[in-house]
Structure 1
């Protein structure tokens, strides 16, 4: 269902594709959205990976070749960690995924999260998960408050930038950011893992901020 809407995004370095996160084609010509931290402010060697390995409904993980399409940063909201991208070259495309906002959901409602968990380890499998909205919160960056959703799911690296879709009407209501962990001093790391992120919730910024970035 989402194979022509949600894509892995990353960089091509020495002819090797390194996934960085997830992005979504919206209902505006050639525009995609992701989390700003996924692209890190740079267009250099930035590509999306098309989901061309589907066979009879299965993703063939033995397929080594992948089709990459270059993308370009069009707008970034650094306070809310949102990035709008455009597809480069080729014909005009868009999805039927309508833009919504976190305002229209309530705690306890079911949502769908789509992305590529653990793609940082080379596991590029488009994965759909269902969870509930646990809470609606305001977070502040540089004294600017933003609307976020706390989701009852543990997101993993590679899912950042992925869409949060309301089950009731199929609207894009949020962009997955990652675990909500207030900054604490004296934290430790176990290998490459921050123990503070090992909890069963994550958060997403409201998709309601996207409209003003593309208008």
Structure 2
């Protein structure tokens, strides 16, 4: 098997294993042994592809942040369809029901990881920052279509939606909020600027 394919597969296998451990047991359970055990491989496999465990975690976080790109494209394509609140509700629910909340907790729990991430991500918290950019981009597209007020501060609205959404979904072990609760929150934030029915 060519080396490039083998490395890519090993990385994906390890990243997927890290995600499963993180979602199931939380940031404190995420160790190199837990990851390799979950992946079903020897511990040396991780160290063959990454200088150390914090380097692995930094690349894992950036890989998971990259998954938001697909969500960003889908949300932008939704501009002009449905309702603004409905589109935002769906996007926020998909984002926060993914590994996003757990990744934020992981970044908050590990100082060395935050230091590593600053090399590639100089400002903000990965995932939350990228998510705010995604929501701001969508709101800007809706503003261009006239479905959001021309004077709406889409970056501030995006930050409010992401921050409030994160608070709603932050309890990893609790029951996630129902769609109606997320829709109510979104509606409260965008009612003043949305130019279309919210339902």
Q: Give TM-score scaled by structure 2 length.
A: 0.24
Q: Pick 1 or 2: higher relative contact order, CA cutoff 8 A, min separation 6.
A: 2
Between Structure 1 and Structure 2, which shows a larger proportion of strand residues? 1
Between Structure 1 and Structure 2, which shows a larger proportion of helix residues? 2
Which structure has the larger Rg over C-alpha atoms?
2
